[in-house]
Chain A
């Protein structure tokens, strides 16, 4: 945006040609994004004995494949739970609450705290020694289990679902809801036929963010899961720390490709660009 009458500083004039600005952006993308990914591809290949794709062969075998599928399964599970919970909360804040801004503040507040601390907090809350567990006599088998991982991921990523859904709900004109009611639709029918379709953009946006973040989660399975809840990020990290860079790289390549395939498949079903354009 150009503000008329605002003098442009000389430095900007000298170095701020469109060409220079584009070069700056592309340069950053290249150095910080394209080059590392190319390196990743390069390192996932084997140039010694045993064939070029030997790392891919082991990455797609037994335990690694299982972990990969588990990651996507946990990602989908977390997305479904987070969206359901997030929709209800966003609906409440947008339509029912008196102190909208205050509640939105509460939603955003946890984002100030590092994930690792929040997961540790959940762990502490569910330890045998915690007052809550002592009071209830049980942690309901949550800690160090799949449930623990899903609950942890949900609690941490909930704001990413609530915010876009709230935004979408908030931009629905009141008169549309009133119109649905005067046309003879009850409250539930209005939610189903008017409010949900008109907040689809928020659901898709929130769902995508949560799905991508949850599938690639490292901390939740490490802190709240059992050894059987290991996810792909843990395996990749493990391989790296064992200096098995080839395996780690090929796992990363497979995981990223699969993630893109899943998102593209979803895109052919719901046109993400178009839906998000409504946001």
Chain B
């Protein structure tokens, strides 16, 4: 039995289908993420789990109990909102106290939990401040402490890092993950940021247009996307369209040349079938000038972006296709250089078009 089970959940707004027959399960202590572009239905799903919206069809179970008919205050959930939604007329402490009082804790326990959770998010010293006196990051911390303090069955986070700068996002991302592990709370996280999803989750559910595209661990999603939407949305890649040329040796004919692929990738496919190839930038490298390259892929360097530990190089391989290569910064290439590309055929992701 999962902690959270969503089954055949469908939501219409008027005639508009927002979520289409979505089912998934989050186990106790698991960190699940709903990932998708804006308007994919992920927030609607989260709000319905919280009881803030009603489903058109389907069931939602928490700890095995159907909660569809319960109002938000009857479901034992903790929610962190996009705007952090801390009460501006209450101090930090009163914000956390609110949920604890509503859940009927004794005064002694309330005191103890306020200290524990404000300490956990490192905001204890601001206890008597009003949220208006805090920075954006601190406010998020308060809302996380507030949602966790009464130890809910599940923690729901609705894009909680929206509007923060990059460094702070990264910092809070790590912290949320650490706290989640420490408190061992079942978590459902909603984001459009694939980097957040990949770095935090035990399980990712990719949504597009209200439909589940794929469900799996971050590695499963990244290394084995089930369709081209997932392959495009999660991670960067060089994208080539083509047709299966030969099965032995396994190769795909593309406008920019024949690309060797792994034998496994072509299983179940026939010669002549249209496919799409995805090459992750870290799987591609520049071929040794000595000429051991296994492919004919190559072209002119269009752009080199220095990113600290690595550089992202864009290579024009012809026919309007730009290949993305992540290379060690010691590997010096310049805009305009002619390069050949090399990769292990087994790493090429092949998807039926």
Binding site for B on A (CB under 8 A): 173, 175-176, 178-187, 189, 193-194, 197-198
Contacts and interface: CB of A to CB of B under 8 A. Distances in A.
B98 interface: yes
B83 A185 contact: no
A175 B79 CA distance: 10
A184 B102 contact: yes
8 contacts: A179-B86, A180-B87, A182-B72, A182-B77, A183-B147, A184-B99, A187-B71, A193-B98
B73 A194 contact: no
Contact of A182 (B52, B83, B87, B88): B52
B353 to A, nearest CB: 42
A249 B302 CA distance: 87
A178 B51 CA distance: 9
B102 A185 contact: yes
- Per DSSP, chain A at the interface is helix
A194 B87 contact: yes
B163 to A, nearest CB: 13
Interface in B96-142: 98-99, 102-103
Contacts of A175: 81-83, 85
A170 to B, nearest CB: 16
B32 interface: no
Contacts of A198: 88-89
Contacts of A176: 85, 87-88
B50 interface: yes
A179 B87 CA distance: 9
B85 A173 contact: yes
Given A176-B87, A194-B87, A198-B88, A182 B98 contact: no
Contacts of A197: 89
B301 to A, nearest CB: 44
Interface string B132-161: 000000000001001100100000100000
Nearest to B101: A184
Contact of B52 (A181, A189, A194): A181
